Amino acid sequence: MRITKIETMVLGTQWRNLVIVKVSTDEGLVGVGESRPINKVEAAIGYVRDVADRFVIGLDPFDIEQLVRRLTVEDYGRPGEIAMTGLAMIEMACYDIIGKALNQPVYRLLGGAVRDRIKAYANGWYTVERTPEEFAAAARRAVAKGYRALKFDPFGAGYYEAERSEKLKTIALVEAVCDAVGPDVELLIEMHGRFNPVTAVEMARELAPFKPSWYEEPVPPANIPALKKVADAVAPLGIPVATGERIHTLHEYRDLLELHAADVIQPDIAHFGGILNTKKLAAWADIYYVLMAPHNVGGPIATAAALHLAACTPNFKIQENFNDFDEPYVLASAPGLPMVENGYFTLPTGPGLGVTLDEDVVAAHPEQRIHFNLFKEDWHKRNARMK
């Protein structure tokens, strides 16, 4: 079997553009991959087109390791966010083809299931006014959809530091959500790399009484010793530190793991070179007793890929999902994704990734002019369309 064609398309929404890669073969099998390249749609598409003829057309889709080598070694330049995003989309599509060729779900090709359901948490549920009352009401609506864990960034548009009034507002928002959903619902506090270490530690201590399940990306991702400083200060609180969505290669994880700078890592499969690369990272992290909670802002295709990895990864913790809080046509673009029930996804079914691309839905919702900026006021409302 040989790859004969690679096509790209974009599904546009109010705040994210989902890039979809469709890979076709000479035996008629077709696979799909997907990513949400934040504010870099054309760059991701351009990369896929650039490598298609040189490295991918003519390759056997079963040769995943050869694909990875070609795009990360033989292209010589150091792979970063765009290269690893393009590779991930092509690799997902190849795994989709392999599963279809063998009539097996992807997770069975990666060691088989180690769990019969996949714990989930909601994100994107708090697109409301930044008041305790509105956040509490939104949290109750998310729980009503079946979620037992909610992630949110309560910090506004701050960077490095925050005014005292903003700190007090943040505490009030978290308290309101905690009171609204009760002690049985997990809260995961997202910091989006906003703070310097001292501010991150201060806010971690202030929010500790609400018993969050983790603090995510407390400092910007480029300085692992700064993250280690926060992790050491937070450890006595008994609250894990999570990070990793903006780390794109295996080599970049070395210092983080060796310094024990995080308790949970969050590679995004769609920006980390794909399913197999992330599976390798999971095995490596397990040596350090570090858990996996892959970042996922993708639509149904990328989410399906994440579920297959979760199914077969022993040190998996919990899976992020936005799709229940976005336009309904996003899920309709690739039907087949399991739904969240009582806080869990069921395992994917069907061969390959288990979803089927609906190109008519994609064509009906083209790319949008979007600039998503997490450091502007009211960013959380996710109205990112450019005026």
**Per-residue CA distances from 247 to 232, 271, 298, 301 (Å):** 21, 8, 17, 21
Interhelix angle 275-287/81-102, rounded to 10 degrees, is 100
Q: Which residues are catalytic?
A: 192, 295
Interhelix angle 224-234/197-207, rounded to 10 degrees, is 30
Give, rounded to a whole angstrom, the gap between the first and last alpha carbons of the chain: 47
Query: Are 102 and 110 spatial neighbours (Cβ–Cβ below 8 Å)?
Result: no
Q: Which has the closest alpha carbon to 211: 184, 242, 250? A: 184
The single residue listed with the structure tokens 């794109």 is 248
Show the tokens assigned to 205.
Answer: 């201590």
Long-range contacts of 357-362 (CB under 8 A, 24+ apart): 357/20, 357/22, 357/32, 357/301, 357/333, 358/332, 358/333, 358/334, 359/9, 361/11, 361/329, 361/332, 361/333, 362/9, 362/10, 362/11, 362/20, 362/333
Show the tokens assigned to 384.
Answer: 């990112």
